Amino acid sequence: MAARPDDGDTRGVEGRKLEDVINHEQQQEQEPQQEQEQEQEQEQQQEEEQKQEQEQQQEKEQKQKQEQQQEEEQEHEQELETQQEQEQEQDRQPVTVEIHTTRI
């Protein structure tokens, strides 16, 4: 192992080696935990995106339902207007009335 410059550390070579081993072990213990945290963050982000997509889809469907309902109401109103016009036209047509009289 390469000699370290003297930084005032009084533990000696064995103490430094032991610290290096401990640091390395801690780093290896942290790596899986960090990977797991990253995976959890990704999953959470995916869930958020799916939730947003679902909400957008629901809004789109609701809007379509409203538009369809408006169309149906307009069609119904149009049918009523047409029916009223036909009734008015019938009212305008001359009516033939036959009057029968008898003499006494």
Q: What are the residues whose beta carbons fall under 8 Å from the beta carbon of 4, sequence distance 6 or more? A: 16
Which carries the bigger pLDDT value, residue 25 or residue 64? 64
**Residue 96 half-sphere exposure toward CB, CA atoms < 13 A:** 1
Specify the pLDDT at position 6. 54
What is the pLDDT at residue 69? Answer: 97
Q: What is the pTM of this model?
A: 0.44
| pLDDT tens, position by position, 49-96 | 999 999 999 999 999 999 999 999 999 999 999 999 888 887 777 777
